[in-house]
Amino acid sequence: MKYLCALTIAGSDSCGGAGLQADIKTMSALGVYAASAVTSVTVQNTLGVQAVQAIRPDVVAGQIRAVMDDVAPVAIKIGMVNDRPTLQAIADALRPYHPRFVVVDPVMVSTSGSPLMQPDAVDAFCQQLLPMATVLTPNLPEAEVLAHMPIRSFDDMDEAARRIIQLGCKAVLIKGGHWEGQQKVDRLYMPGQPPRSYEHPTIETRNTHGTGCTLSSAIASFLARGLALPEAVGSAVDYLAQAIEAGKDVAIGAGHGPVDHLFNPEKLIKS
C-alpha cells in the first residue's frame, strides 16, 4: 500500500497563497500526497513581488530526479520557471521518465501584474516544456503571449488555442478569469474535438492570489486520481470556485489574498 502522489515543480511564495505552497495545499486537500521541487524563491506578499531568486538549475534537476527515482509521482504540475537554464534543466530531468501526466501552468505574470518569467525564457518554454504538456493552462494574457495575438472574444480564444496546440502540447485550457461579466468561462481544447466550456458565476472578492496555481495543481491531482482530462478539468474548476467562495470575505494582507484551499480537505488516498 502507498499514497497516491503528485509532484509540483514551482516557485516558492513567501506569503503562502500561490506557487509551491498553493500547490501543496491543493494536492493535500484533494487527497494526493504532494512532493515538490523548488525552482525559485520569491520575495512577495499580497501586494506584489519584490524580488525573485532562481535556484541553481542543477539543484532543480536534482530535486526532480530524487523524487522521480524514489516516490514515482503519477502526475506532475510545472508552475513558475524564471529563466532559460532552469527550463532546460527541468525538461532534461523529466524526459527519461516519460511522465504520464504533465500539467504546465505558464506563469508569466503575477496576479498583481509583476513579470515572473525572463523574456528570453519564453522561446525555451515553447520549445522544451510545452511539448511535454498533457495540458497547458494559460490565462488570457499568457495565451496572448503564446499565440502572438490579442484575445477579445470566444472566436479569438478558439484561434489562440489552435495556434498554441500547433506548438506541440496535447491540450490547452484557456482560462477566462480576466474577462468581466457575471460568468467566468474556461475552455478546454483537444485536437479533433470541439471545445468544452466550464462556466461558474463570478465571485466578487479581492482574494484571487494563486488561483492559477491552485487550478493547475487541482487538475494534476484529479488526473492522478484517475479522471479523464475533461472530467479532471471540470472537477478542478469546481474545486477552485468553492475555494474562492469559501475565502472571499477573509482578510489576509492588504492586497490580493488567497483562496481557502482547505475548505473541505480529504484524507490521503492510498492505493
pLDDT of 182 reads 81
Q: Which of 210, 234, 247, 257 is catalytic?
A: 210
Per the CB < 8 A criterion, the answer to whether 6 and 32 are in contact is yes
Q: Which of 208, 234, 247, 257 is catalytic?
A: 208
Per the CB < 8 A criterion, the answer to whether 116 and 90 are in contact is no
Per the CB < 8 A criterion, the answer to whether 143 and 130 are in contact is no
Q: Which of 211, 214, 247, 257 is catalytic?
A: 211
Q: What are the Cα distances from residue 71, in Å, to 10, 103, 170?
A: 18, 18, 26
% of the chain surpassing 70 pLDDT: 96
211 an active-site residue?
yes
Per the CB < 8 A criterion, the answer to whether 135 and 126 are in contact is no
pLDDT of 19 reads 93
Q: Which of 5, 15, 126, 213 is catalytic?
A: 213
Distance between CA atoms of 249 and 15, rounded to whole angstroms? 18
Q: Which of 175, 176, 177, 184 is catalytic?
A: 175
Per the CB < 8 A criterion, the answer to whether 175 and 141 are in contact is no
How many residues are listed for the chain in this entry? 271
17 an active-site residue?
no
- Give exposure, 126-145, as e/b (b: 16+ Cβ within 10 Å): bebbbebbbbbbbbbebbbb
**Which run of H or E residues covers position 40?**
strand 33-45
Spatial strand order in the sheet of 101-104: 48-54, 33-45, 5-13, 75-78, 101-104, 135-136, 172-174, 183-189, 196-201
Per the CB < 8 A criterion, the answer to whether 211 and 259 are in contact is yes
| Strand residues in 79-213 grouped as ranges (E) | 101-104, 135-136, 172-174, 183-189, 196-201
Q: Which of 19, 176, 177, 212 is catalytic?
A: 212
**DSSP states along 166-200:** HTT-S-EEEB-TTS-SSEEEEEEE-TTS--EEEEE
Instruction: Give 199-224 pLDDT, tens digit per residue.
Output: 989 999 999 999 999 999 999 999 99
Encode the chain (271 residues) as per-residue pLDDT tens digits.
Answer: 999 999 999 999 999 999 999 999 999 999 999 999 999 999 999 998 899 898 999 999 999 999 999 999 999 999 988 789 999 999 999 999 999 999 999 987 655 555 667 777 888 888 889 999 999 999 998 999 899 999 999 999 999 999 999 999 899 999 987 666 688 899 999 999 999 999 989 999 999 999 999 999 999 999 999 999 999 999 999 999 999 999 999 989 899 999 999 999 999 999 8
pLDDT of 91 reads 95
Per the CB < 8 A criterion, the answer to whether 125 and 87 are in contact is yes
Instruction: Give 122-153 pLDDT, tens digit per residue.
Output: 888 888 899 999 999 999 989 998 999 999 99
Structural domains present in the chain: 5-247 (3.40.1190.20)
Single out the residue of 39, 38, 35 nearest to residue 72, CA to CA: 35
Instruction: Give 151-166 pLDDT, tens digit per residue.
Output: 999 999 999 999 999 9
213 an active-site residue?
yes
**DSSP states along 235-269:** HHHHHHHHHHHHHTT---SSSS-B--TTSSPPPPP
212 an active-site residue?
yes
Single out the residue of 265, 213, 206 nearest to residue 47, CA to CA: 206
Distance between CA atoms of 117 and 114, rounded to whole angstroms? 10
pLDDT of 112 reads 54
